[in-house]
Amino acid sequence: MIESPRKKRFTFETGVLPLLFLLPSLMGLLLFRYYPLFRSLYMGLFDWNILEPPGVFVGLDNYTRMFSSSFFTDALLNTTTLWLLMMGFAFWVPIVQAVFLSELRGRTQGLFKLLYLVPMIVPGVSGILLWKWIYNPEFGLANQLLTAVGLPALQWLNSIDTAKIALTLPGLIGGSTGVIIYLAVIQGIPQEMYEAAALDGANFFQRAVKLTLPNMKGIISIQFVLSMSTALQLFDLPYMMTGGGPAGSTTTMAIRIYNIAFSDYNFGMASAMAAFIFTITIILVGLQLTLRRRSD
């Protein structure tokens, strides 16, 4: 006769103590994440007056003016363009690096893992400033390399034609945690499949195209959706590189919100734009979770 499992008794150690340990992080999450979020949604319904808040209630007027304004459409177009360029220059690089890295064995693979992860120790701001110096039109390494091979120097960050490309070119280096994530997926593929492919005479590229990449489809789709939500919040890279210029060509949605709020002091409009980004992000996260369930 199979005995029914005994019910756990509710005690301080099993019921209350875990909640007490979670309470500080939960309070921080509510105070610094959810409160600003819902506060922003509330502010978006007003012509916000910082001297006598909340100001005049305007309902959805901020959203109506936002969708009909050129500064919103320009910022959205810039954000979309930068995301597409990042997809072209950067998204596929960690995938290729992980595929090649999976062919290495032992200490050699461990060494390359270390080399890919060590740059993460350096603050992102330092890397951005380094690239800004590389793009310096007079003393930067980029123009020195161009002139060395007989090509004309470029105004990398000062020209509308090259500014967006200059922001996304560093992605060609790849590395970071993306490589390790993809590598972990590859190492989860049964080794017997590779052995069978090798016995059938498949070379490295055939195994990569016919075996490795199809088994990575789930994580690639998730990273693809994640890249879109990241692009919507892109701020530090264009802000430090170009300040949103030249002529507003690299002003993203996040930079536009910052300028409207802290330069124009139009917190109602800025909150409406933030709510728009929040809504799109929620949709993308829902899509990401759906893709993850299907990949599992």
Paired residues of 57 in beta bridges: 46
Q: Which two tokens stand for residue 91?
A: 């998204």
Average pLDDT over residues 54-67: 90
The answer to whether residue 1 scores a pLDDT higher than 70 is no
Q: What is the pLDDT of residue 295?
A: 62
H-helix or E-strand containing 130?
Answer: helix 124-134
Q: What is the pLDDT of residue 54?
A: 87
Range of the domain at 67: 54-295
Which CATH number goes with the domain that contains 237? 1.10.3720.10
Helix axis angle, 253-262 relative to 267-295, nearest 10°? Answer: 150
Q: Which two tokens stand for residue 272?
A: 């409406």
The answer to whether residue 209 scores a pLDDT higher than 80 is yes
- Tell whether 153 is covered by a domain: yes
d(CA 87, CA 281): 18
Q: What is the pLDDT of residue 251?
A: 95
Q: What is the pTM of this model?
A: 0.85
- Tell whether 266 is covered by a domain: yes
- The rounded mean pLDDT for the chain is 87
- Tell whether 1 is covered by a domain: no
- Tell whether 264 is covered by a domain: yes
Core vs surface per residue 42-75: b (16+ CB within 10 A) or e:
ebbbbbbeeeeeebeebeebbbeebeeeeebeeb
- Number of structural domains (the chain) is 1
- Tell whether 182 is covered by a domain: yes
pLDDT tens track for 149-192 = 999 999 999 999 999 999 999 888 887 788 888 988 988 888 88
When pLDDT is cut at 50, 70 and 90, the band that residue 208 belongs to is confident
- Tell whether 27 is covered by a domain: no
- Tell whether 22 is covered by a domain: no
- The pLDDT > 90 percentage for the chain reads 35
- Tell whether 191 is covered by a domain: yes
The answer to whether residue 58 scores a pLDDT higher than 60 is yes
Average pLDDT over residues 67-78: 92
SS3 115: helix
